[in-house]
């Protein structure tokens, strides 16, 4: 009596939708800060910041700090989420600072 | 469409489907039941009914304050794309220090400064969470440092061995041996 209500394609779509709902449940999305620094040669270093959800970090603070905690290069990332600076004398680390607890530290030894 | 065509499909598959479709649909209803134990375990974990986390680490004394620490999941760090591997911890401040502590941070290795104290704990002081990046080259004797910042400007730090904080992470790091 209701054969026109339960045509196969409609039911297939419902089953597919149900399985898709099962698959998507329980996903948590995080956006952890990340930063990568590369040596460009000529004593120049370029650092790129961003977040793990794929968004960029224009305008975020990126400081180059000596092991004695003096700030050698106070900087902010440009509109392309990068900052290029001259490799400082002495020992230093790079601090990508997107706010308290949202930081990435990169030691000079990890910059290649 | 004639009624005869609707009740008697020509192909064998069509006839099989027509005969068993109701039973197959009942099986479909059974599928979610298999996910129920995990669903209720997670609901209880996130509501706090089954404690602070899957594995309690214990109480850590940090200067005049103390906090309870737990691993959210008793498992190896989970990858978060280009940000690397992440491990989640939960913490609860002691009842008397809730009003005094402004922020709590977690870091592998001793922080260089308060600014670089590591990841910050979010949430109510009775149940805060932090997601800590675990570098693959972390050493076996690494320590987990807890930094508490008070509203009065004071800062107190304490550390526990990472092997005590998360044996699952240590086991995972041992497996990463080749990359170090």
Digit-coded pLDDT (tens) for B50-96: 999 999 999 999 999 999 999 999 999 999 888 889 999 999 999 99
Q: Kindly state whether residues B39 and B89 are assigned to the same domain.
A: no
Do B75 and B155 reside in the same domain of the chain? Answer: yes
Nearest to B80 among A32, A50, A100 (CB): A32
Nearest CA in chain B to A68: B112
- Does residue B14 lie in a domain region? yes
Task: Return the SS3 of B127.
Answer: coil
Instruction: Categorize the per-residue pLDDT at A2 as very low, low, confident or very high, splitting at 50, 70 and 90.
Output: very low
Token readout for B140 is: 């076996």
A22, A50, A101 member nearest B119 (Cβ): A101
The answer to whether residues B84 and B149 belong to one domain is yes
Q: Do B105 and A101 touch (CB under 8 A)?
A: yes
pLDDT tier at A21, thresholds 50, 70, 90: low
3-state secondary structure of B172: helix
Which among B54, B85, B60, B56 is positioned nearest to B72, based on CA atoms? B54
Fold of A33-110: Immunoglobulin-like (2.60.40)
Q: What is the pLDDT of residue A31?
A: 80
- CA angle, corner A58, sides to A54 and A59, nearest 5? 145
Q: What is the pLDDT of residues A88-108, one digit of tens each?
A: 988 999 999 999 999 999 999
**B105 and B64, same structural domain?**
yes
Gap between the Cα atoms of B85 and B166, Å rounded: 14
If one counts the domains in chain B, the total is 2
CATH, residue B153: 2.60.40
B93 and B18, same domain (yes or no): no
Q: Is the predicted pLDDT of residue A1 greater than 80, yes or no?
A: no
Residue A100 structure tokens: 């308290």
* Number of residues in chain B: 180
The stretch B34-62 carries a mean pLDDT of 94
Residue in A with minimal Cα distance to B121: A101
Q: Which residues 6+ apart lie within 8 Å of B71 measured at CB?
A: B53, B54, B55, B57, B87, B88, B89, B90, B165, B166, B168
Residue extents of the structural domains in chain A: 33-110
Residue B33 placed within a domain = yes
What contacts A4, CB < 8 A, 6 or more positions away? Answer: B1
Residue B113: strand pairing partners: none
- pLDDT at B62 (0 to 100): 96
User: B91: domain range?
Assistant: 55-179
> Best mutation site among B6, B112, B128 for testing chain A: the one with the most A CBs within 10 Å?
B112
Nearest to A100 among B6, B84, B120 (CB): B120
């Amino acid at each position: 009596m209701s054969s026109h209500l339960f045509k196969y394609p409609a039911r297939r779509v419902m089953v597919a939708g149900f399985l898709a709902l099962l698959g998507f449940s329980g996903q948590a999305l995080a956006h952890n800060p990340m930063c990568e620094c590369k040596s460009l040669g000529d004593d120049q270093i370029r650092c790129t910041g961003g977040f793990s959800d794929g968004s960029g970090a224009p305008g975020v603070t990126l400081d180059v700090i000596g092991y004695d905690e003096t700030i050698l290069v106070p900087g902010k990332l440009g509109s392309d989420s990068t900052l290029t600076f001259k490799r400082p004398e002495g020992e230093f680390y790079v601090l990508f600072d997107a706010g308290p607890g949202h930081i990435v530290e990169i030691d000079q030894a990890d910059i290649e | 469409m004639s009624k005869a065509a609707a009740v008697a499909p020509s192909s064998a598959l069509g006839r099989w489907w027509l005969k068993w479709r109701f039973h197959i649909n009942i099986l479909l209803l059974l599928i979610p039941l298999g996910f129920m134990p995990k669903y209720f375990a997670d609901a209880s974990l996130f509501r706090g009914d089954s404690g602070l986390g899957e594995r309690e680490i214990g109480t850590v004394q940090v200067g005049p304050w103390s906090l309870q620490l737990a691993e959210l999941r008793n498992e190896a760090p989970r990858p978060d794309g280009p940000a690397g591997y992440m491990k989640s911890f939960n913490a609860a401040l002691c009842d008397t220090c809730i009003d005094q502590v402004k922020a709590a941070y977690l870091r592998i290795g001793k922080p260089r400064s308060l600014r670089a104290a590591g990841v910050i704990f979010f949430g109510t002081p009775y149940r805060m969470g932090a997601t800590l990046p675990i570098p693959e080259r972390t050493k076996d004797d690494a320590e987990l440092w807890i930094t508490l910042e008070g509203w009065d400007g004071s800062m107190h730090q304490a550390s526990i061995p990472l092997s005590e904080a998360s044996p699952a992470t240590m086991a995972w790091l041992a497996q990463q041996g080749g990359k170090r």
